Amino acid sequence: MTRYAIFILTIFLAGLSAGCASSPVGKTAMLKLHTRSMERAPGTKQKDGSYRPVLKTVQWAPEKTALVICDMWDRHWCKGAEARVAEMAPEMNQLAETARSLGVQIIHAPSTCVDFYKDTPQRKRAIASAFSSAPVELSKKERWGTAWCWPQDEREPAMPIDDSDMGCDCKKKCEIVPPWTRQIKTIDIREPDVITDNGQEAYNLLSEKGIDNVILMGVHLNMCVLGRPFAIRQMVNVGKNVLLIRDMTDTMYNSQKKPFVNHFRGTDLVVKHVEKYWCPTIESTDFMGGSPFRFREDPLNGKN
């Protein structure tokens, strides 16, 4: 039995038990999320690198929570990146299905591909959300087809990995020609999901639905999951409570570049960067049970 099946069975049995107990009618179960962040030790400065992990448990109301799926395209110019997206997508789809069943708003954000869905109710729903003014100016300067929330020097240092070559880790380097046309088919788009790659649309939707909490998963962490107008930097800047699912992401990192670690440990370093300077992280196990997801080629696969 898969970890998803086990988790669904657990939810079902818990629901039966809860149904037998006396509780207020219509009361929604809270999401119990186990967060990890990196905080500086007291008396140290950022440049010292003296950080320690801080573990907390938070409870979020599902109806006030959105799950954003970032740039899980059908194709990628880097064959290695494309293969990892395809490998991760089934697990991500199961997580989204679970979150949806709990009342979490699912937002599909396949950047530059939303016109593929222009006639769908999910896309029309995002466009139709009433305008809401953000507390800070939303990012406007464009990069890679959308507005981009650039690194903020006053908040974060440079990335812990060198992605200056765009991060292709294939032995034969791939040509940078964007081939994506839509979100990968493995990830279902259902009701009442929405589709957008626009920061204002995303903010409108969150405001309209009273959503304060945003969970991010998708690719690629050192680029789009931080910088897109619906992603980590922007959501933190507008005051949302933000979490990253750290085992449901990947990076564009070539292990032949600094710091010369394997691809997956490079991703771990970027996760810690996010935990230090932007937001806490959780694992997919908070929704799925079982063990965290690892890619087949990760040397730590099977060692959780």
Q: Interior CA angle at 21 toward 17 and 24, to 5°?
A: 120
Helix (H, G, I), strand (E, B) or coil at 29: coil
- The token pair at 122 is 């999910």
Query: Which residues, listed in sequence order, are joined to residue 31 by a DSSP beta bridge?
Result: 60
Please indicate, yes or no, whether the overall pTM of this predicted structure exceeds 0.75. Answer: yes
All domains of the chain, ordered by start, with CATH? 61-288 (3.40.50.850)
Tell me if 148 sits within 8 A of 141, measured CB to CB: yes
Residue 24's pLDDT is 37
Tell me if 131 sits within 8 A of 209, measured CB to CB: no
Residue 7's pLDDT is 53
Burial of 21 (0-12, 13-18, 19+ CB in 10 A): exposed
Cα–Cα distance for residue pair 139/213, rounded to 1 Å? 20
Residue 3's pLDDT is 60
Residue 41's pLDDT is 80
Tell me the per-residue pLDDT of 206-247, one tens digit each, with 9 for 90 and over: 999 999 999 999 999 999 999 999 999 999 999 999 999 999
- The token pair at 205 is 């939707």
For 120, which DSSP code? S
Q: Which of 125, 111, 114 is nearest to 231 (CA)?
A: 111
Tell me if 48 sits within 8 A of 54, measured CB to CB: no
With a cut of 50, list the residues of the chain below it in pLDDT. Answer: 10, 12-26
Residue 302's pLDDT is 83
Cα–Cα distance for residue pair 157/272, rounded to 1 Å? 12
- The token pair at 116 is 């593929």
For 258, which DSSP code? T
Tell me the per-residue pLDDT of 42-53, one tens digit each, with 9 for 90 and over: 777 666 668 999
Helix (H, G, I), strand (E, B) or coil at 79: helix
